[in-house]
Amino acid sequence: MSTVLKTKKITKNFDGVKAVDSLSIEIKKGKITGIIGPNGSGKTTLINLLTGMFPFDAGSIFVNGSKELFKINSYDIRIFRVTRTFQNIRLFEQMTVLDNILVVLTKRNISGSLFEKYKQFHYEQAKVVLEKVGLWGKKNELAINLSYGQRKLLEMARVLATKSDIYFLDEPFAGLFPEMVKLISEIIKELRQQGKTVILIEHDMSLIRELCDYVFVMESGHLLAEGKANEVLENKEVVEAYLGE
C-alpha cells in the first residue's frame, strides 16, 4: 500500500515551546487515518503545517508524489490535491450558499467569456455537493444566516467540491446533531470507497473506532502511539494520557 503523505522529523516551536516535536509519520493512500490526543497535543498545529498555514522550523514532508519539501505554502496545497476544513468554520459569510461553492469550482484567472461558457457546468457541480449535504434548498441563503450545523455542512460541501485526493478534516463532527454526524460519517466512508485519503482529528472515540483504519496518538507535540484503532485505544499509555484514567 502506497504512502501518500510522509513527515520527516517535522518541528514547530511557539515561543520556545515545541508544539510539534520532531514528528515522523506516514499516511497510507485511500485510508481514513485518525489523529487523536488531548487538547494542546499538537494535532491542529500539525495540520496547519501540512497545509501551509504555518511554516515548519525543521524537518521535511513528502505529499502526493512530491519531492522532499522543506516548506509548503497554503496556495500550493491545491497543486498537491490537498484540501481541509477548520476547527473554526471559515466561510464567505456575506455570500450565498451556492456562491460559497462556485468560488471553489471556478478559477478566477480565466477570462470572463470562458467563465460564462462553463457557468452551467459549475452550477450542476455545485448542486451535486449541496444535495449531498442537504443544503440545496438553502442555495440562495447567505452563509451567515445558516445554523451552526448547516455551516459545518457547507464547509464539508466546499471541500468535496475541490475533488481533492487528500482531505484534512479538523473536528468535522463537533457540535452536530446525531443525524448530521451520521451524514458526515457516510460522506467520509464514501471518500474512502473512492480511493481518497482522509486525515481526521476527532475527540469522539466511538467515531474513531467506527471510521479509522489507522490512528496516530499525539502528546505534547510528539508521537505517543500508533496502530489500528482498537489496539491503540486499549493501549495503557494512551488511556492514561488521553482519557485521563
Residue that terminates a domain, selected from 144, 163, 182? 163
Number of domains in the chain: 2
Both 13 and 38 in a single domain?
Answer: yes
Both 122 and 3 in a single domain?
Answer: no
- Which tens digit of pLDDT belongs to each residue from 104-158? 887 644 444 445 455 788 899 999 999 999 999 999 999 999 999 999 999 999 9
Both 9 and 101 in a single domain?
Answer: no
Reduced to 3 states (helix: H, G, I; strand: E, B; else coil), residue 26 is strand
- Which tens digit of pLDDT belongs to each residue from 45-76? 999 999 999 999 999 999 988 899 998 888 88
Q: What is the crossing angle of helices 148-161 and 119-132, to 10°?
A: 130
Mean pLDDT computed over 225-245: 82
Residue 146 resides in a domain: yes
Both 99 and 74 in a single domain?
Answer: no
Domain with 12, as residue range(s), is: 1-81+165-245
Both 151 and 103 in a single domain?
Answer: yes
Alpha helix stretches (DSSP H) within the chain: 43-50, 97-105, 112-117, 119-132, 148-161, 178-193, 205-211, 229-233, 236-238
- Which tens digit of pLDDT belongs to each residue from 96-119? 999 999 988 876 444 444 454 557
- What pTM value is reported for the model? 0.91
Q: Which grid cell is 243?
A: 482519557
Both 57 and 106 in a single domain?
Answer: no
Both 173 and 99 in a single domain?
Answer: no
What pLDDT, on the 0 to 100 scale, is given for residue 87? 81
